[in-house]
Amino acid sequence: MGNTWQVGDKRAITHTFTRDEIEAFAKLTGDVNPLHVDEEFANRTAAGGQVVHGMLAASFISTLIGVHIPGRGALWNSFEINWRKMIRIGDTLRFEARVDAVRAGTSTLELEITGTNAVSGEVYLDGKARVMIMSEQVQVPSVKLAGRRVLVTGASGELGGAICKALAGEGCRLILWGRNPERLERLANQIGESVDSFHAVDLTNDALVYSVLAEVRENGGADGFVHAAAAPLHIAAVNDAQNYEYLKEHWQVEVAAFYRIAQQLSENMQSGGFIISILTQAVFDAPPTKMSAYVSAKMGRGELFARWRWNLLPKVFAAMPFRLI
C-alpha cells in the first residue's frame, strides 16, 4: 500500500436516483416491498411516498470505494450505515469517503462515509467502512531454496517446527532458534543433516541475541529469515497491573527482536533472499478480549515491516508477512 493514502484524503461521487433504477433493483434482488415499488401504496403510508431501497443507495458507496477510494484492488470488509433521511426518486446525493485511519500492516483503510443532498446539503446517511487493498502479486524470479541458509525463530514451537520441516523438505540449510532447548534438540534430530546449527535463545536478552547473531554472520550469514517467535500468550484485562509486563515482553520478542535480526541479516543478504514475518488474523478486527499485549505487538510488527520492507526490495524477494492465527 505504501504511502499512497493519508488520513484526511477524500473522494466523492454524485448520483440522482430514478424510478427505473428502483424497478431494476427490485427485479435484480427480489425486494419488491411496495414501499419502494408501489407509488399508490407508499403514498398511503407514513413515509408519504416511494422510498429508494437503502441498499441501492449503499451500492454507490461500493462504487466510491471500488473505483475511487482506494479504487483498484479494494475489498470492502465491513460497513456501518446510519439512515438519517429517506431518499426519494429524483433526489441527488453526494457520496463522500474520507480516510480516517491507514493500517499499513494489514493494508487496510478506515473510512468515514457521508451521503448528503447535493442541493440542500442535508445529511441523508453516514457511516464507516473498513477496506482492504488487494495489491497485485509482485512477480519475482523463480528462486531455488535448495542450499540456502535460513534462520527460523520460534523453531521449538508447533508452527515454527512445521515451518522448519517444510524448509528442510525444500533442501534449505537451517539455523534453529527457540526458547525450549529440549524441543529444539529433538527437532534438530528429526530434521537431521539439514540443520546447520541450533541455539536456545531468549529474544528478550539483547546481549544473547547479538552474540548468537554475530556467530551466524561469521559462519556465512543467512539467505532467509522467518520470524515465527512469539511471547507466551497471557490472558489479562488491559487494566490488569500485570498486563504491562506482558506488553513489554510481547513487544520485545515480536517487534524489537524481529527488527534487530532482520536489520543485521539483511545487510549481507544476497539477491533472492527473503524475510517473512508471521502475523495473526486477530489484527484485522476488534482484538479478542484480554489479549491486548499479544495483538498490539503483532500489529506493531506488521506496521513496522510494511513500512520498512520497501527499503529492501527488490533485493529481498519475499519480504511479505504471512497472516496466520
With vertex at residue 123, the alpha carbon angle to CA 117 and CA 129, rounded to the nearest 5 degrees, is 110
pLDDT at 301: 72
Region 149-173 average pLDDT = 93
Residues in a beta bridge with 132: 75, 108
Overall average pLDDT of the 21-31 stretch: 96
pLDDT for 137 equals: 58
DSSP letter at 253?
I
For the chain, percent of residues with pLDDT exceeding 70: 86
- Does 244 or 321 have the greater pLDDT score? 244
Please work out, in degrees rounded to the nearest 5, the angle formed at the alpha carbon of residue 117 by the alpha carbons of 115 and 123.
55
CA–CA gap between residue 63 and residue 245 (Å, rounded): 46
pLDDT level of residue 263 (50, 70, 90 thresholds):
confident
| CATH number of this structure's domain 10-133 | 3.10.129.10
Could you report the per-residue pLDDT of 232-246, keeping only the tens digit for each?
888 888 888 888 898
Extents of the domains making up the chain? 10-133, 149-323
What's the CATH fold of domain 149-323? Rossmann fold (3.40.50)
Mean pLDDT of 31-60: 96
190 pLDDT above the threshold of 90:
yes
What is residue 231's predicted lDDT score, i.e. its pLDDT?
86
CA 173-151-108 angle, to 5 degrees, is: 130
CB-based contact 318:140 (threshold 8 Å): yes
DSSP structure string for 87-108: --TT-EEEEEEEEEEEEGGGTE
